[in-house]
Structure 1
Amino acid sequence: MEYASLPPGLLTTRLAAKAAGVEPATIRDWVRRGILQRAGGSPRRPYYTVQDVTAAKMAAKPNSARTRRANVHPA
């Protein structure tokens, strides 16, 4: 069940994912990793600010190629 009405500037997980061009699971992962902070709601129905979602989208996120290169030590 979605919120009937959120104040302007706030997004549900689904809307935050749409705004960032990612899946809702990615939004939850960003929260778990500390890239995105919840702005309120409940544990099962959090919401986020538009500014925080935009900042999280722009934040540098490690990927497997970058991680592998960083862990390779020259002999």
Structure 2
Amino acid sequence: MEHLSLPPGYLTTSMAALAAGRAPATIRDWVRRGILTRCGGTPKRPIYRVADVQAAATADKPNRPGQRAA
């Protein structure tokens, strides 16, 4: 269930995924890799700033050894 009363300019994980055109698992991976930071919420229901999600979507992603080029 989504938060119905988020402050303007903030997104849940699934909303951030829709805004970035990615899967929710990708948003969680960006957080784990340090590309995107949470700005509040709870551990199970984090929230993100819209500007941070947009910046992460266009940022250069670090490659891992052995990873195929996209």
SS in 2 for 1:16: helix
Q: Aligned pair 1:25/2:29, yes or no?
A: no
Paired residues, number? 66
User: Whole-Å Cα distance in 2 between the matches of residues 65 and 10 of structure 1?
Assistant: 32
**Structure-1-length-normalised TM-score:** 0.82
Task: Please identify runs of 4+ aligned residues in structure 1 that moved more than 6 A.
Answer: none
**Structure-2-length-normalised TM-score:** 0.88
Identity of aligned residues (%): 65
Give the residue type in structure 1 aligned to 2:69: A
User: Whole-Å Cα distance in 2 between the matches of residues 13 and 36 of structure 1?
Assistant: 11
- How do residues 40-59 of structure 1 correspond to structure 2 at under 5 angstroms? 40-59=40-59
User: Whole-Å Cα distance in 1 between the matches of residues 23 and 12 of structure 2?
Assistant: 12
In proportion to residue count, which structure has more helix? 1
User: In angstroms, what is the RMSD of aligned CA positions?
Assistant: 1.3
Q: Aligned pair 1:64/2:68, yes or no?
A: yes
Give the residue type in structure 2 aligned to 1:44: K
Which is greater in Rg?
Answer: 1
Structure 1, 56-65 or 2-11: larger mean CA deviation: 56-65
SS in 1 for 2:69: helix
